[in-house]
Amino acid sequence: MEAALLDKLRAIVGPANVLTGVDLSPYVVEGRTPEAAVFPGSVEEARSVVEVAGAAGMPIVPWGGGTAASVGTPARRAGLVVGLARLARLIEHEPGDLTVTVEAGMTVAALQSALRARGQWLSLDPADPERATIGGVIAANASGPRRHLYGTARDLLIGVTVVTGEGAIVRGGGKVVKNVAGYDVPKLFAGSYGTLGILVEVTLKLRPAPDAERLVSVGFDRLKDAGAAARAVTASDLIPNALDLLDAEAGRALGLAAAPALVVGFDGLLEQVEWQCAELTRLTAPLGGHRIETLSPDTWSRLVTAARSAFDAPAALMKLAVLPAAVAETMEQGANAARQRGLGTAWSGHAGIGVLYAALASPPESPEPGPIATVLGEWRALARAGGGHAVLEAAPLAVKAHVPVWDDPGAAERIMQRIKAQLDPLNILNPGRFVAGI
Amino acid sequence: MATLTDSRKRELRRELETVVSPGAVLSDPDELLVYESDGLTLFRALADFVVFPTSAEQVAAIVKLANRESLPFVARGAGTGLSGGCLPAEGGIVISLMRMNRILEIDYDNLLAVVEPGLVNLHLSWAVGPRGYYYAPDPSSQQACTIGGNIANNSGGPHTLKYGVTVNHILGLEVVMPDGEIVWLGGKTRESQGYDLTGVFVGSEGTFGIATKAIVRILRKPQAVKTVLAVFERIEQASGAVSAIIARGLVPAAVEMIDHLTIQAVEDAFGCGYPRDAAAALLVELDGLTVGMEAQAERISEACRDNGAREVRTARDEAERQLLWKGRKSAFGAYGRISPAYMVMDGVIPRTKLPYVLGRVNEIVATHGLRVGNVFHAGDGNLHPNILYDPRTPGEEARVVAAGAEIMKLCAAVGGSISGEHGIGLEKTDFMPFIFSATDLTFMQRLKSAFNPTGRCNPGKVFPTRKSCGEAGPVAYRPHPIEEKGLAQRF
């Protein structure tokens, strides 16, 4: 990076908050080192940083906890990391309003602990909450098992403050739980991977903390039966807050007594949780359910990564969206496709939502991208055949060269490109990382 | 504003008829009158044509024709909107979707349905009801309003407190874009990739294109429902109880407040069993599992009693529950008993500001020499002050409009919003700066340009305008055009 630009950045945020050289190690993504990393301490500083970088044509990589930093098409130029670590305050929490406004760099764990102290919680449970930031979770649309009942960032986000690529501070939505004034700008930022603006402040809907919560696992001999059990739960009076399906490999990685398994969560009054656990047993037994066990509370946060944790160094991770009723079948077909090429897999997924996480084991010998790419292509075709799509969430660059990270968005591609062109006309925010070349 | 010569108009009518059918185009001024207003009769605007397509392809052909002629166009559902959002503010073509009202597919395994936009909201719940399912968003007009109109306005309703608004229930949309291209946004899967186009389309008030199919979620009906009525001597007590219910860890399906004046009107009209002398009543509905329902109802009752409720009772049976809800849902109609006219306001405030804001609303309206009845979604802070007035009294309507603007300013000042469910439409364009800066509005304008670069798709809406658009500005109260013609009356 040119010295003149560095000087300007240091003048804005203070020299201690600009990293260069070897200090950039934590921000290396897929072997690429950013040109610098800068940590604004206020919204205004963030705005100035973007303005200065934009004027110099320097691409900007918004950075929360870095948990999803490698998701996406590899950037042509590493650019300037704009870290949110210093924008991490809780701005306003009024329990009676069931809303909270926070700076985007606050970690999920820090926010949850502040909310729990006042009897509430944010019903969003992504992996790695100690590192993942609120802004990052929204930008990457990260979620966890409780999305079954409570939805994802789009359902909880009611207001945003963003710094645009042109250095403007824009507010969208508001601070009230119901609001149709103007366009729903917050929706646009959920899952936008930092390509439309840097989230600096967000307002979210909250829920009261439940009296009781329990996570139970029901083992099955066959994945197919577990899938049928998931459908039976969906069609019943039960109101689970999580309904995950794990194949034998993912189940073992999670330490379940029996797998394949259906892992089901319940919350509410204690008597409601207990009644539902009993009802679950009654419902699943005729379908082959056995070895019902109550899981420890720390299992919740490991569920969403169960598939990837089956392997020390998986060759690739793919996230597939399919119809809920097709979850078990997709898992079986996907695993077969890999097996035919001698590759191991592990699968977990949200059976009521139709979102699957698949991990592909590395080939035992020289890691040729060929078979890996073939399997990933077949997985994607499986998802597409059912009207869904697949995102390659992690893979070596050699594999990414063969398999596009993002799926084809079809005719909607043109609208997305026009949105990007309208809202980030300098094309300065995470250029080239997202869907449709955005 | 487009002006067409009579001969050009005749040619265009013939051309539109070849796209749809001869019986599906209106251009006679008498027939067009029906489409001059929506539920907010304060605004009116006359179209050049009203067209009734039956397919996405026909909608696309109409849109392309409009573009060729540089005519504005706007989609219209049942016309129950309350902000003038579906009015042809600059003339042109009204595309009525009322003949596209089929349910194309119901998939119980995947909890979704594919429907056309002209389908009446409640008809979807009727269709899936026998199998034990329903469609959750329940605007008060659900017997008449359409799914397409709900999508345009991101409609809410009493039960959105627990179940969310329309956007939380739409998975995908087939859309005729403002240039006539047919595009799918989202789909049947719960997650789509790229920008959340479905999410941002919902609530765009018809300015991003015309939805021609919607994939919506259906939910399983709850095992049990319980409705609690709490009666208060002072309105502040009722407001306090709302916050207390939330603070005690409960999210009821609905928490509705009905004030003294509204109780009077409702009791005069229907006799629903609300105590006439009460200052306010809360209608709280719980739903979910049978197990624990009693315990939760007891917690609600406690929260109400602790805040001074003089009476708390639970509906004993479905008939009593329906009667209590009838009072809430028919409140607007009941105002007709006590006032020649009323205007419904729609604003949102943080729940905890209810006691202050309700007091101020009453003061503001009194200052203008008017009366107000409040019946609203207290659980999510969505106010509906209904200002009563007599349109025959000169100047009274202007005072209503002025009081309305002050109430909107008040909502904005306490950190709220100028609309919770009725939309901006034509009515509130000039209030947008109360809550958005010029930069915020420019950002939204650019977003609109990504979908609707020519601005021909529903012009004059959402954004503040410097020029007022002829007939589209607020005018003195008149009945709906079809009432004037003696073709219909208000209930």
The residue type found at B145 is C
Could you say which of B45, B70, B96 is where a domain stops? B96
Give the pLDDT confidence score for residue B474 in this predicted structure. Answer: 47
A residues 225-264 near B, CB within 8 Å? 231, 234-235, 237, 239
Pair B293, B350 in one domain: no
* 3-state SS assignment for residue A286: helix
Pair B117, B191 in one domain: yes
Report if residue A434 sits inside a domain: no
Give the pLDDT confidence score for residue B411 in this predicted structure. Answer: 98
Q: Is B384 on the interface with A (CB under 8 A)?
A: no
Categorize the per-residue pLDDT at B471 as very low, low, confident or very high, splitting at 50, 70 and 90.
very low
Pair B214, B321 in one domain: no
Pair A201, A97 in one domain: yes
Categorize the per-residue pLDDT at B329 as very low, low, confident or very high, splitting at 50, 70 and 90.
confident
Could you say which of A54, A83, A112 is where a domain stops? A83
Q: CA distances (Å), B403 to each of B365, B397, B418, B425, in order?
A: 6, 10, 14, 19
Q: Which of A36, A13, A6, A10 is nearest to A23 (CA)?
A: A36
- Domain range spanning residue A34? 3-83
Is a pLDDT exceeding 80 seen at residue B86? yes
Q: Is the dihedral of CA A109, A110, A113, A114 positive or negative?
A: negative
Q: Is B5 on the interface with A (CB under 8 A)?
A: no
Could you say which of B220, B237, B269 is where a domain stops? B220
Q: Is B355 on the interface with A (CB under 8 A)?
A: no
Q: Is A170 on the interface with B (CB under 8 A)?
A: yes
Report if residue B395 sits inside a domain: yes
Report if residue B1 sits inside a domain: no
Read off the tokens for A103. Answer: 């700076």
Q: What distance in Å separates the CA atoms of residue A166 and residue A178, rounded to the nearest whole number?
A: 30
Interface contact flag, B191 A321, Cβ < 8 Å: yes
CATH number at residue B452: 3.30.70.2740
Please measure the distance between the N-terminal and C-terminal CA atoms of chain A and give it in whole angstroms: 24
Give the pLDDT confidence score for residue B368 in this predicted structure. Answer: 97
Report if residue A229 sits inside a domain: yes
Q: Is the dihedral of CA B409, B414, B415, B419 positive or negative?
A: negative
* 3-state SS assignment for residue B233: coil
Categorize the per-residue pLDDT at B291 as very low, low, confident or very high, splitting at 50, 70 and 90.
very high
Interface contact flag, A171 B247, Cβ < 8 Å: no
Q: What distance in Å separates the CA atoms of residue B405 and residue A359, rounded to the nearest whole number?
A: 57
| Own/partner pairs, A140-144, CB within 8 angstroms, 24+ separation | A140/A67, A140/A68, A140/A71, A140/A191, A140/A193, A141/A190, A141/A191, A141/B191, A142/A67, A142/A68, A143/A304, A144/A300, A144/A301, A144/A303, A144/A304
Pair B327, B346 in one domain: no
Return the exposure string of A289-304: e unless at least 16 CB atoms fall within 10 Å of the residue's CB, then b: beebeebeeebbbbbb
- Helix (H), strand (E) at residue B220: strand B219-220
Q: Is B297 on the interface with A (CB under 8 A)?
A: no
Q: Which of A140, A185, A147 is nearest to A164 (CA)?
A: A185
Q: What distance in Å separates the CA atoms of residue A315 and residue A317, rounded to the nearest whole number?
A: 7
Interface contact flag, B447 A98, Cβ < 8 Å: no
Q: What distance in Å separates the CA atoms of residue B125 and residue B110, rounded to the nearest whole number?
A: 16
Q: CA distances (Å), B365 to each of B278, B343, B353, B400, B402, in order?
A: 21, 12, 18, 8, 9
Q: Is B7 on the interface with A (CB under 8 A)?
A: no
Is a pLDDT exceeding 70 seen at residue B376? yes
Could you say which of B31, B66, B96 is where a domain stops? B96
Interface contact flag, A412 B185, Cβ < 8 Å: yes
Pair B211, B243 in one domain: no
Interface contact flag, B202 A184, Cβ < 8 Å: yes
Q: What distance in Å separates the CA atoms of residue A53 and residue A63, rounded to the nearest whole number?
A: 15
Please tell me the total number of residues recorded for chain B in this structure.
491
Longest dimension (CA), chain B: 72
At residue A350, φ and ψ (nearest 5 deg) are -90, 105
Interface contact flag, B380 A178, Cβ < 8 Å: yes
Pair B348, B442 in one domain: yes
B residues 82-121 near A, CB within 8 Å? 108-111
Is a pLDDT exceeding 80 seen at residue B472? no
Interface contact flag, B440 A171, Cβ < 8 Å: yes
Report if residue B140 sits inside a domain: yes
Q: What distance in Å separates the CA atoms of residue B213 and residue B281, rounded to the nearest whole number?
A: 40
Give the pLDDT confidence score for residue B466 in this predicted structure. Answer: 56
User: Distance, in angstroms, between A364 CA and closest chain B CA?
Assistant: 33
Pair B305, B351 in one domain: no
Pair B107, B28 in one domain: no
In chain A, how many domains are there?
A: 4
B residues 261-280 near A, CB within 8 Å? none
Categorize the per-residue pLDDT at B247 as very low, low, confident or very high, splitting at 50, 70 and 90.
confident
Instruction: Give the gyration radius of chain A's Cα atoms.
Output: 22
B residues 191-210 near A, CB within 8 Å? 191-197, 199-200, 202-204
CATH number at residue A372: 3.30.70.2740
User: Distance, in angstroms, between A16 CA and closest chain B CA?
Assistant: 32
In chain B, how many domains are there?
A: 4
Q: What distance in Å separates the CA atoms of residue B49 and residue B26, rounded to the nearest whole number?
A: 6
Pair B480, B356 in one domain: yes
Could you say which of A39, A54, A83 is where a domain stops? A83
Instruction: Kindly give the parts of chain A with pLDDT less than 50.
Output: none
Q: If you search the block for the tokens 């047993």, which residue do you land on?
A: A281
Is a pLDDT exceeding 90 seen at residue B220? yes
Please tell me the total number of residues recorded for chain A in this structure.
438
Q: Is B164 on the interface with A (CB under 8 A)?
A: yes
Is a pLDDT exceeding 60 seen at residue B485? no
**Cβ contact A287:A225 at 8 Å:** yes
Interface contact flag, A391 B193, Cβ < 8 Å: yes
Chain B contacts of A355, Cβ < 8 Å? 190-191
* Percent of chain B with pLDDT strictly greater than 90: 86
- Where in A13-97 does DSSP place strands (E)? 18-19, 36-38, 60-63, 80-83, 90-94
Q: Choose the weakest-confidence range: A334-348, A376-390, B315-329, B469-483.
A: B469-483
Q: Is the dihedral of CA A190, A192, A197, A199 positive or negative?
A: positive
Predicted-complex ipTM score: 0.97
- Helix (H), strand (E) at residue A290: strand A290-295
Pair A101, A164 in one domain: yes
Q: Is A154 on the interface with B (CB under 8 A)?
A: yes
Mean pLDDT throughout B193-210? Answer: 98
Is the omega angle on the peptide bond into residue A62 within 30 degrees of 0, that is, cis?
no
Give the pLDDT confidence score for residue B467 in this predicted structure. Answer: 47
**Cβ contact B231:B310 at 8 Å:** yes
Categorize the per-residue pLDDT at B248 as very low, low, confident or very high, splitting at 50, 70 and 90.
confident
Pair A193, A132 in one domain: yes
Report if residue A420 sits inside a domain: no
**Cβ contact A196:A428 at 8 Å:** no
| Residue of chain B nearest A422, judged by CA positions | B446
| Count of other CB atoms within 10 angstroms of residue A18 | 22
Q: For residue range A14-48, what is the model confidence (pLDDT) as tens digits?
A: 999 999 999 999 999 999 999 999 999 999 999 99
Q: For residue range A378-393, what is the model confidence (pLDDT) as tens digits?
A: 999 999 998 999 999 9
Q: How many CB pairs under 8 A join A and B?
A: 260
* Percent of chain A with pLDDT strictly greater than 90: 95
Mean pLDDT throughout B117-130? Answer: 98
- Domain range spanning residue B398? 339-488
Report if residue A393 sits inside a domain: yes
Could you say which of A248, A268, A303 is where a domain stops? A303
Q: What distance in Å separates the CA atoms of residue B307 and residue B230, rounded to the nearest whole number?
A: 10
Is a pLDDT exceeding 70 seen at residue B482? no
Pair B36, B131 in one domain: no
Chain A contacts of B422, Cβ < 8 Å? 180
CATH number at residue B16: 3.30.43.10
Interface contact flag, B291 A95, Cβ < 8 Å: no
Q: Among B109, B350, B428, whose Cβ lies nearest the Cβ of A176? A: B350
Q: For residue range A331-377, what is the model confidence (pLDDT) as tens digits?
A: 999 999 999 999 999 999 999 999 999 999 988 776 678 899 999 99
DSSP 8-state class, residue A235: T
Pair A170, A233 in one domain: no
CATH number at residue A112: 3.30.465.10
Interface contact flag, B191 A151, Cβ < 8 Å: no
Q: Is A208 on the interface with B (CB under 8 A)?
A: yes
Contacts of residue B170, defined as CB under 8 A and 6 or more positions apart, other chains included, come to: B151, B186, B198, B202, B214, B215, B216, B217
Instruction: For chain B, give the mean pLDDT.
Output: 93
**Cβ contact A259:A248 at 8 Å:** yes
Pair A62, A170 in one domain: no
User: Distance, in angstroms, between A190 CA and closest chain B CA?
Assistant: 7
Categorize the per-residue pLDDT at B473 as very low, low, confident or very high, splitting at 50, 70 and 90.
very low
